[in-house]
Structure 1
Amino acid sequence: MNNLRAPDLVIIGLYLAAMIGVGIYFSRKNDDADQYSRASGSIPGWAIGLSIYATFLSSNTFLGVPGKAFGTNWNAFVFSISMPFAAWIAARYFVPFYRSTGAISAYTHLEHRFGPWARTYAVVCFLLTQLARIGSIFYGIALTLQALTGFSMELIMLITGICIIIYTVLGGIEAVIWTEVVQGVIKTIGALLIIGLIIYDMPGGVAKVMEIGQANNKFSLGGFSPDFTQSTFWVVFLYGFFINLNNFGVDQNYVQRYHTAASPQQASKSIWLCVWLYLPASLLFFVIGASLFAYYQVHPEFIQAVKLQVAATNLPQTATAAQIAEAAARLSPADYGDKVMPHFMVTKIPVGFVGLIVSAILSAAMSTISSGMNASATVFTVDIYQRYFKPQMTGRQTLWLLHLATVCFGLFGMGTGIAMIGVKSVLDIWWELSGIFAAGMLGLFLLGVISRQTRSHEALTATISGIFVIIWMTFSGSLPDEYAGLRNTLHKSMIIVVGTLTIFLIGLLLTKLRRGTAVYNTTEPAKQSVH
């Protein structure tokens, strides 16, 4: 059943039309590949910072973070706390490095250091990461709009995907950045509107939220013991540091933006603007999750409605009411956390406000998807097609290929989102997949930048070792009981930490051993001649 009234539909329609209009406006300037991929270095730093902020503030944050806070606590907020540490390294070292190379792709440097295999491996890791990111965001937006419209999640992904593809293909990176500036403002206003409506309708207001939250340990950041098998403060902090270092330092989504700035200083300032905007914004979404938990504790009948809805979705259509009720009784808050905010929107938000909030959620999804599509198309064009198939391409051919690749990655992302239908937590699935795919890319990049003496075969050996470690940490939990001793006992968020360090440290060790052997072979004959 469609829960959107005419005013809401008008607001959503105007928003989608405006985004397509932005793409049409900027399409007049996209007459070459340089303008399409880097906007000819003409974007001010504050706009780039807002753009990066909007990319971080995706629908995974808009929907996944409140769901996570509802189902558990504020442990995931430690991810945001780690951001300034990664941002300092990126602004100090990575931005000047990329600006000095002038290469639009973040991975060209790896070929110069280690050969074509390194560049290709990093590109594959990046593209898989983007598919996971785009897919999880498509799934998150479909989850909300299905509750509001009654349409199938597949149809919702198709409609929103077509709109995103149109304005991204037409407008290029400049349209992506300027629409993200607008979207960053819209999604922040949407979050403030949601928390305002929750508190307004909450008996006892903020004091009651605090009381219920403290009684249920909702504000905990996780344990501080050095336990890496659970989602402690330190596990999430390490995960956040490495993921954010990957985002700011290696991810083409962000590196490509550094090239659109007028100067390295402007590019560095954009990183810090993103950090200081995202920290309070992400905290706001954790407050929303804790407030929703308190609200639904005061109104237990709403919790039962959500649980019945989730249970019915997970069971066959032939399930009886008794079977659905039995399945619902077994659900924990972590099992239905992602479904709570869509339910609140359907039942409690007034007409007109729903349209504004849906537009905010759409903007959260569209900003990240569009930037991921543009960056993926750029990487595919530069690092794969031009590198291996057709090095000499005219400007018109390159621009045409960028358009085609953008469309293809948008479609692939939709397919990934459809494959994710049914996952318990959109934030959990994104964190797990990003950790798996990003670990090898970040480890290899750090090895190439920090260790100037490491050679190609040493880097290759280290990378292969890291891949085996990542595979083992990811899949060893499924080993049969007779091989229980071989299972990975570390928390899944540690995959990127261990995988990155494996590649980096093995590469350093092999380099040290080679140099030590070379010194020994050089000095040994001299020692013999003395005797």
Structure 2
Amino acid sequence: MRHSIRIIAYLSFLLITSMVLFSCGEKNNMLSEEDKNLSYEVLDRVMQEEEQWVKVHAAEYKLQVGLPEGVYDTFLKQLALYENQAPYRIGIWRVLAKSAPTEAERQQYIDKIIAVFNDTEVSDRIHAAETLAKLGVPVSTLAKATTDKILKGEKGSLWVYTLWASMQGKEKSNNPMLEALMSGIEDEIPRLQAAYALKMEGNIPQERWESLATMALDEPSSSIAKIHLLTAAYYWAGPEHQKSESYKKIEDLIFALQQSDNKGDRMALALTIAHKGDWSHQSILLEYLRNDNPIGTEINAETKASNADVMATAAFALLHMEQTTHQLSTIDWAIVLIYMLGMMVIGYIFSKKNKNEKDFLLGGGKMNPIAVGLSLFATLLSSLSYLSYPGEMIKYGPVIFSGVLAFPLIYYIVGWFLIPRFMKLKVTSAYEILEINLGVSIRLLATFLFLSLRFLWMGTIIFITVNTAIISIFGFEDTTSNILWISIILIGVTIIYTTMGGLKAVVFTDVIQSCVLLGGALLTIVLISVYFGSATSWIPTHWLDHWGEYKWGIDARERLSIGNALLMTVIWYVASSGSDQMSIQRFLATENIQTARKTFAVSLITSFVAQFLLGLVGLAVLAYFLDNPQFLAAGESVSTHADILFPKFILVGLPIGISGLVAAGILAAAMSSLSSGLSATSSVISEDLFKRFSRKSKPEKVDQLKRIRILSLFVGIFTLALSLLISRVEGNLFDVVVKVVNLFVSPLFVLFFMALFIPFATARGVLIGGLISIAMAIAVAFFKFLGIEVLFITPASLFSGIVAGVVFSYIDHKFLGNQETMQKRSEKIIGK
């Protein structure tokens, strides 16, 4: 009867969850085939028939929505007619550079534009500077002398566009155009151009948004810059600002332009609707597309061209929204929900098989090594890896993945130096080993480090999974309330099947989730290969410019090098396997040393396959979006928004049903890690804190099992609260993972290294070494101590901690006379 009531409650929870998800995720944003075809027709007709710059705009719109047919050939003909006509020649070169079939041809036209930019005698330098900015050409490198000279001069039109162009090829965390607008551009035309550049470039810090909004609202109505200031503020308002009164006023002013007789106003309104993906204003775009509301009453050459420009912009806006505002289908939702239901059913089934605490925590101690190995892999390679590895490959290249070359060494170290020592001591908590060899104080320090590490890890999983993947894939608004509810659902489902089934349920579901995770990655690669026509055409043939320079040696002040990647991989795997309860728990869940080694080998092999696949996913997705830039929102690029490209591809690149499967894979990766974290932290709290400090020295076995299940619930709630704080950590996904998740990996292993391998280690010496290791990790992660890069946290904190621990233990033993060493305690307690 109890089980029936419980499962009814769980299914009710799932039903409510489904209703919430469906109500949040529904959108009505489909463009009819008739209007889509009309948009294609308008863009092509305007490009072929209209005047010069209107023709340029239509061609660029076609390229942005993935319709390159005819563009290059059309503008080769324009080049033959107008190559020496300034400034139209700049527009021709711009389109040819964007549509060039080879990199060499693209560079040919860029060189022509740079030549005009460097020429002080020509009349179209301003157009050249604007075009170089729009093409993303790094003029600070390719035309440094000219750029520096212009930026030291008068703040006119050439200065504005040169400043914009000088921002290209650099990491962008702010937009200097905002400061320029606020501090000294008074002339009407340069101010208009600066406002336009500000809108197009973005990168406006959210703390400066109110200043931008105030400037836009205070700009005189007669100012031609006002529309671009308003739309810049509207484009780049964060979720917290979209509820403000200023935002509402800006929105009202923008949409009041619907009937404007100025083509620039109408084009700005159409592009604003496209940028926001707001299908509630589709009627405005359709009205412009069909020319139902033409500019002026007298149709002449000027108004005809203006109307054509507006029609082309509306066509682009509709096609862009149709391509970029995607949603999961009903089939996709069904796959995800069936998956979540399946996880809870598995938890319910295994709940009947747990008879005691050992069954719940260690699965009875006789679990299949292959299944446990897959579970260990799924634990270590969480949704953090699933989301951050492709982003790291896209942004920085394959250097980090060279670390897999160290896997044989890692297997040898862990398999022959660590696992045998763990298996000799049949303990439930890994930290019992520390108490045996070094005493209660070191065990409690290790418990604190482990719990801190795992709480931060689980909080980061929830934060990144929800904010990076679920929000974008499932089509929710990026609001605090939505993030909170989705996080509650994610941790809620995980708590249910973990607290019911224990380690057996965790391992069983991890095996399923490993297959889903790897299958989703492989499927992405296959589909992109089909898109490009081969399995190799999307692999870069050269080192991409935005990856930066690659280096071979070990250098703590370099973000990445081959040597750094190898060293970091060895230390992370050895430290995690040799100190983390989640790893040691799985070794102890097997029968003997040989099966434990087999478990670790399976974990490493699967990790290698997964990292290799995820690296390829990064390259494949990079190639896809370089070939389809129309799927990127305004202001987005493959380098600045690398972390969201894989989730975005799930929506724009995968067919119905497959999107749901890969989305389930991301949920799988998150839930597998969360379930392992809940199980491991509950085990440590029970063994290392409750049993030690509880007044009841021998509580009943049934009570122990019940207590651990309750602990898992509270651990989940605390983790949920912690996830809300992770957003304050700066950096791309991989940097956030390293700063938060890997912060205490080395300090924790320092304690185990001293307890297992240093005979004269003393509790006081190890305590000092552990604290120094913690201090070094924090100093490097958040203060860049001695210029050490954040990815070097684990080596720096490990070496400093071991050196300090060995030195202070030696002093404590040899000079201060402390005879309570690791070796003596071990011999006394174990009786060796």
Shorter-chain TM-score tier: 0.7 to 0.9
Q: Does 1:509 align with 2:807?
A: yes
Contact 1:42 1:262 in 2 (8 A): yes
Given candidates 657, 660, 663, the residue that maps to 1:355 is 660
Q: Does 1:19 align with 2:339?
A: no
Q: Which residue of 1 aligns with 2:776?
A: 469
Q: Which residue of 1 aligns with 2:472?
A: 147
Given candidates 405, 415, 433, the residue that maps to 1:91 is 415
Q: Per the alignment, in what secondary structure is the counterpart of residue 787 of structure 2?
A: coil
Q: Per the alignment, in what secondary structure is the counterpart of residue 724 of structure 2?
A: helix
Contact 2:356 2:701 in 1 (8 A): yes
Q: Which residue of 1 aligns with 2:354?
A: 30
Question: What is the CA–CA distance in structure 1 between the aligned matches of 2:408 and 2:549, rounded to whole Å?
Answer: 17
Question: What is the CA–CA distance in structure 2 between the aligned matches of 1:285 and 1:242, rounded to whole Å?
Answer: 21
The 3 A distance-change label for structure 1 pair 424 and 199 is farther
Question: What is the CA–CA distance in structure 2 between the aligned matches of 1:192 and 1:218, rounded to whole Å?
Answer: 26
Given candidates 737, 758, 764, the residue that maps to 1:430 is 737
Deviation string 1:120-172 (CA, Å, 9 cap, x unpaired) is 11111111111222122222321222113233332222112111110000000
Q: Which residue of 2 aligns with 1:418?
A: 724
Deviation string 1:245-276 (CA, Å, 9 cap, x unpaired) is 12211111111111211222111111011111
Question: What is the CA–CA distance in structure 1 between the aligned matches of 2:506 and 2:422, rounded to whole Å?
Answer: 21
Q: Which residue of 1 aligns with 2:528?
A: 198
Contact 2:396 2:547 in 1 (8 A): no
Contact 2:383 2:666 in 1 (8 A): yes
Contact 1:81 1:279 in 2 (8 A): no
Q: Which residue of 2 aligns with 1:393?
A: 699
Contact 2:400 2:565 in 1 (8 A): yes
Letter in 1 for 2:369: G
Letter in 2 for 1:228: A
Q: Does 1:302 align with 2:631?
A: yes
Q: Per the alignment, in what secondary structure is the counterpart of residue 335 of structure 1?
A: coil
Contact 1:86 1:248 in 2 (8 A): no
Q: Which residue of 2 aligns with 1:482?
A: none
Given candidates 372, 378, 399, the residue that maps to 1:75 is 399
Letter in 2 for 1:126: F
Q: Which residue of 2 aligns with 1:440?
A: 747
Deviation string 1:479-515 (CA, Å, 9 cap, x unpaired) is xxxxxxxx42111222221222222222222344456
Q: Does 1:137 align with 2:443?
A: no
Q: Which residue of 2 aligns with 1:292?
A: 621
Deviation string 1:179-200 (CA, Å, 9 cap, x unpaired) is 1111111111111111112222
Given candidates 494, 500, 514, the residue that maps to 1:164 is 494
User: Which one has the bigger helix percentage?
Assistant: 1
Percent identity for Structure 1 against Structure 2: 24
Q: Tell me by how many angstroms 1:468 deviates.
A: 3.2
Deviation string 1:99-119 (CA, Å, 9 cap, x unpaired) is 211111111111222222211
Contact 1:198 1:291 in 2 (8 A): yes
Q: Tell me by how many angstroms 1:220 deviates.
A: 9.2
Question: What is the CA–CA distance in structure 1 between the aligned matches of 2:603 and 2:498, rounded to whole Å?
Answer: 22
Tell me which structure has the larger Cα radius of gyration: 2
Q: Which residue of 1 aligns with 2:790?
A: 492
Q: Tell me by how many angstroms 1:83 deviates.
A: 3.5
The 3 A distance-change label for structure 1 pair 492 and 370 is same
Q: Tell me by how many angstroms 1:368 deviates.
A: 0.9
Q: Tell me by how many angstroms 1:207 deviates.
A: 4.1
Contact 1:213 1:219 in 2 (8 A): no
Question: What is the CA–CA distance in structure 2 between the aligned matches of 1:476 and 1:64, rounded to whole Å?
Answer: 23
Q: Which residue of 1 aligns with 2:519?
A: 189
Question: What is the CA–CA distance in structure 2 between the aligned matches of 1:251 and 1:6, rounded to whole Å?
Answer: 41
Q: Does 1:278 align with 2:607?
A: yes
Q: Tell me by how many angstroms 1:221 deviates.
A: 10
1:2-17 equivalences in 2 (<5 Å): 2=26, 3-17=327-341
Question: What is the CA–CA distance in structure 2 between the aligned matches of 1:278 and 1:471, rounded to whole Å?
Answer: 28
Q: Per the alignment, in what secondary structure is the counterpart of residue 226 of structure 1?
A: coil
Quick one: higher RCO (CA 8 Å, sep 6+), 1 or 2? Answer: 1
Q: Does 1:114 align with 2:443?
A: no
Contact 1:27 1:172 in 2 (8 A): yes
User: Under a length normalisation based on structure 1, what TM-score does the superposition of the two structures give?
Assistant: 0.86
Contact 2:459 2:720 in 1 (8 A): yes
Contact 1:44 1:261 in 2 (8 A): yes
Deviation string 1:358-399 (CA, Å, 9 cap, x unpaired) is 111111111111001100000011011111234432212211
Question: What is the CA–CA distance in structure 2 between the aligned matches of 1:57 and 1:513, rounded to whole Å?
Answer: 40
Q: Which residue of 2 aligns with 1:41?
A: 365
Contact 2:460 2:741 in 1 (8 A): no
Q: Tell me by how many angstroms 1:25 deviates.
A: 0.4
Question: What is the CA–CA distance in structure 1 between the aligned matches of 2:368 and 2:651, rounded to whole Å?
Answer: 39
Deviation string 1:510-529 (CA, Å, 9 cap, x unpaired) is 3444565589xxxxxxxxxx
Question: What is the CA–CA distance in structure 2 between the aligned matches of 1:464 and 1:131, rounded to whole Å?
Answer: 19
Q: Does 1:264 align with 2:571?
A: no
Given candidates 216, 219, 222, the residue that maps to 2:544 is 216
Q: Which residue of 2 aligns with 1:335?
A: 640
Contact 2:529 2:537 in 1 (8 A): no
For structure 2, list consecutive stretches of 5 or more residues without a partner in the other structure: 1-24, 27-326, 477-481, 818-832
Q: Per the alignment, in what secondary structure is the counterpart of residue 743 of structure 2?
A: helix
After alignment, is 143-152 or 64-73 more displaced? 143-152
Q: Per the alignment, in what secondary structure is the counterpart of residue 201 of structure 1?
A: helix
Question: What is the CA–CA distance in structure 2 between the aligned matches of 1:119 and 1:79, rounded to whole Å?
Answer: 31
The 3 A distance-change label for structure 1 pair 185 and 221 is farther
The 3 A distance-change label for structure 1 pair 474 and 189 is closer
Q: Tell me by how many angstroms 1:403 deviates.
A: 0.6
Deviation string 1:278-328 (CA, Å, 9 cap, x unpaired) is 11221111111111111111122223x1xx4xxxxxxxxxxxxxxxxxxx3
Contact 2:373 2:599 in 1 (8 A): yes
Letter in 2 for 1:364: A
Question: What is the CA–CA distance in structure 1 between the aligned matches of 2:404 and 2:548, rounded to whole Å?
Answer: 15
Q: Which residue of 1 aligns with 2:678?
A: 373
Contact 1:296 1:302 in 2 (8 A): yes
Q: Per the alignment, in what secondary structure is the counterpart of residue 146 of structure 1?
A: helix
Q: Tell me by how many angstroms 1:424 deviates.
A: 4.6
Contact 1:125 1:437 in 2 (8 A): yes
Contact 2:748 2:770 in 1 (8 A): no
Q: Which residue of 2 aligns with 1:449?
A: 756
